[in-house]
Amino acid sequence: NVFGRCGIAFHQITGLLHDDPQCWREVDEWIEAARVAHVMEHNRLGVMGHYYNGMLDIYSDLTLQCATFGGHIEIVEVDELAALRRDLSDAQISERVALFHQEFDVQNDCSEAELKRAARTSLALDQMVHNHDLGSLAYYYMGTGNPDNEDTISSIILGNSLLTARGVPCAGEMEVKNAQAMKIMDAFGVGGSFTEYYALDFNDDVVLMGHDGPGHIKIAQGKTKVRPLGVYHGKVGRGLSVEMSVQHGPVTLLSVVETSGGRLKFLVAEGESVPGPILEIGNTNSRYKFPIGARRFVNDWNSHGPAHHCAVGVGHIAPKLRKLAQLLEIEVAQVC
């Protein structure tokens, strides 16, 4: 009563001190949600480049992001990344190529020249993240007319995949909202891979989701493949890309939605990553089944007005996301 009259938020847990797994599971969820809120409050999100032309749902209010989650947004330059690529030794590059072979299933048609180009950019990314103490990154750039910048941005996928696997999620297409969603999922320890739905299989009642660019290789089904692409999908240039599916089993989707009222909210869905045919085109691709069915999932999800990207993590963590939303004092909607 007094808390309510004084405007003090509170959260109640009812149960036994001993021999009450449900009670203590709830305690653990609150503690974990508080830890993730702390991670976000102290996170330094790098923003590099510019928005994708015409992708209006992606454009974000950076001040609103800071007001909601805390943290700091660091504007970083592609020029800096390109400059960092120049001061690397052959030994460093060879060592990073060896790391690629260790972490990825590098296909035989990947040329040594492209691997070295990606290695150079990967090393520069690591240095830039260190220089600015970044905990996540949203980026997009074309580099047209500047060969150094175009060479840099067209060889960024492997390095950003490694960073994402190390707890520095990298969101392409300058998707700041999804960089935040990916960081939240990663802080909960469930991954957080960049994805969007692009097709429905009505026969199998599944939603096909994936994206070009970096993936979260720590939650891949098997080893992530590296393939050469003669032309990127909707991007400038050509180079190496990653191909993976999310681990089969339970998954959670999270979208950070910017509403028409100038607020942020969480949009959540729980489903399952299931085996089956995917497009083998050097992208992250998975098949997802939802308890409400593919058709209703798409309708209900879109009714909340999210951008077309979201973050996918392994396991069902909707209760934890609800608690985090309560701590952040934002709305949460769960479609399934």
Tell me the chain's radius of gyration from C-alpha atoms.
20
Please compute the mean of the pLDDT values over residues 230-234 and round it to a whole number.
72
Q: Look at residue 143 in the predicted model and tell me its pLDDT.
A: 85
Residues 80-115 have pLDDT tens digits of 999 999 999 999 999 999 999 999 999 999 999 999
Q: How confident is the model at residue 233 (pLDDT cuts 50, 70, 90)?
A: low
Residues 207-219 have pLDDT tens digits of 999 988 889 999 9
Helices and strands: H and E segment counts in the chain: 11, 14
Q: Is the pLDDT reported for residue 44 higher than 80?
A: yes
CA distances from 38 to 63, 183, 187 (A): 18, 12, 10
**Is residue 86 within 8 Å of 147, Cβ to Cβ?**
no
CA distances from 18 to 12, 24, 29, 297 (A): 17, 9, 17, 40
Average pLDDT, the chain: 95
Q: Is the pLDDT reported for residue 63 higher than 70?
A: yes
Please compute the mean of the pLDDT values over residues 233-255 and round it to a whole number.
90
Q: Look at residue 283 in the predicted model and tell me its pLDDT.
A: 85
Q: CB neighbours of 177 closer than 8 A, spacing ≥ 6?
A: 58, 60, 65, 255, 256, 257, 258, 264, 307, 309
Residue indicated by tokens 């040594």: 112
Please compute the mean of the pLDDT values over residues 236-249 and round it to a whole number.
91
Give percent of the chain above pLDDT 90. Answer: 91
Cross-strand pairs, 227: 241
Give percent of the chain above pLDDT 70. Answer: 99
Residues 123-161 have pLDDT tens digits of 999 999 999 999 999 999 988 889 999 999 999 999 999
Q: Is the pLDDT reported for residue 171 higher than 70?
A: yes
Q: Look at residue 248 in the predicted model and tell me its pLDDT.
A: 98
**Is residue 177 within 8 Å of 255, Cβ to Cβ?**
yes
Q: Look at residue 230 in the predicted model and tell me its pLDDT.
A: 74
